[in-house]
A and B are shown apart, each in its own frame.
Chain A
Amino acid sequence: GESVGLHLPTLSVQEGDNSIINCAYSNSASDYFIWYKQESGKGPQFIIDIRSNMDKRQGQRVTVLLNKTVKHLSLQIAATQPGDSAVYFCAENSRRDDKIIFGKGTRLHILP
């Protein structure tokens, strides 16, 4: 069946270090992937997306990598800051039905 999951439920990172959040997906029909950030009491905030015809995309301090061979997605955050503390969700979408499937999330905890 379709599923998007995360390898680590909680990630603790020293302030200033780089963070890497990983995600596995199983729907081979998915052709669009998104990372969302959700802070306490707020809705998910779009961070970055990538289409299946790409394997890397960079934004401001964030990079998403897509490995279609092993169905793996990762989010890299450079120079992690206290404001990066949140739950991060990967999500997938296929043109077939337009619904977005979310994983369970990884909590990113920043150590001072």
Chain B
Amino acid sequence: ETGVTQSPTHLIKTRGQQVTLRCSSQSGHNTVSWYQQALGQGPQFIFQYYREEENGRGNFPPRFSGLQFPNYSSELNVNALELDDSALYLCASSWTGREQYFGPGTRLTVT
């Protein structure tokens, strides 16, 4: 059974640029959630995808968007990057949306 994987592991972008982060869900899971984790903080819920549709969203602006594909993998897109977007971005997959298993994260640095 393959766990949750994310790519890339690290990324450096300039303010104003756009970024796409990718996540492959654990085998058998149909729900993917994305979280932003600032240094020293707990993960903050961005949004969740279930069967290719957004199924809940946290308090993040529209420049944070996502996709889920038929194989349940997912992308997180962030437009017009700001310095405060620097964080660890975590993807978690689940079957029910509750017992979520996390990937290792993508560390995004915005300069």
Chain A residues with a Cβ under 8 A of chain B: 4, 32, 34, 36, 41-46, 49, 89, 91, 93, 97-105
Contacts and interface: CB of A to CB of B under 8 A. Distances in A.
B101 A46 contact: yes
Contact of B41 (A32, A44, A93, A104): A104
A104 B48 CA distance: 21
A75 B44 CA distance: 21
Given A44-B102, A99-B33, 15 more contacts: A4-B42, A42-B104, A43-B90, A43-B103, A43-B104, A44-B43, A45-B102, A46-B100, A89-B42, A89-B43, A93-B98, A99-B48, A100-B98, A102-B35, A103-B42
Interface in B50-106: 55-56, 58, 90, 92, 97-105
Nearest to B107: A41
B56 A100 contact: no
Given A42-B104, A43-B90, A43-B105, A102 B99 contact: no
A7 B43 CA distance: 18
Nearest to A31: B98
A102 B42 contact: yes
Interface of A is mostly: strand
Q: What's the interface size class on B, roughly?
A: 20 to 34
A100 B41 contact: no
Given A43-B104, A45-B102, A103-B42, A98 B90 contact: no
Contacts of A101: 45
28 contacts: A32-B98, A34-B99, A34-B100, A36-B102, A41-B104, A42-B105, A43-B90, A43-B102, A43-B103, A43-B104, A43-B105, A44-B90, A44-B92, A46-B100, A46-B102, A91-B42, A93-B98, A97-B56, A98-B55, A98-B97, A98-B98, A99-B56, A99-B58, A100-B33, A100-B98, A102-B44, A104-B41, A105-B41
Given A44-B90, A45-B102, A46-B99, A98 B48 contact: yes
